[in-house]
Amino acid sequence: MLAVNEVAKWFLLQDDDDGISNLKLQKLLYYAQGGFLAVFDKPLFNAEIQAWREGPVVPEVYQEYERFGNKIIEGNDFSNSVAQELTRHEMDFLTEVYQYFGAFSAWKLCELLHEDDCWKKYYSKDDGRQVMPHHDIKESFKEFYCSE
């Protein structure tokens, strides 16, 4: 299983013309985790995902890059060490996630994820940031994103 910070760095290394903000990174991580759970029946990374107002968030990655606020995450400390740890199907899967969802803006991804049943189930203005369990994320992705 991969470290979530390494998966985040992998996405950041896929830099496109628009760059990636913390908000967009959070959504890419959720799509990667949810899709991987649905397709391979196991988590891509073992980190907690919580339901926040703007959608699903991996708190430890959020904290790592929160200093950038809503700006593009910049820096040259993103080593590609994760590429050496990825299996072929992990690399292919992450590439597909990025090619599809990376084309959307952070706010468009938020809009899409506000339709996600798992996020809706666990997000509450009153209860704060609740953990979204892997089994519920997997079922949501199987139902909403994966066709039989």
Phi and psi for 55 in degrees, rounded to 5?
A: 120, -170
User: What is the pTM for the complete model shown?
Assistant: 0.91
Angle at 15 between CA 9 and CA 19, to 5 degrees: 100
Per-residue pLDDT of the chain (148 residues; tens, 9 = 90+): 888 988 998 899 887 667 899 999 999 999 999 999 999 999 999 899 999 998 999 999 999 999 999 899 987 565 556 666 778 888 899 999 999 999 999 999 999 888 888 999 999 877 678 999 999 999 999 887 665 4
Sign of torsion over alpha carbons 57, 79, 72, 97: negative
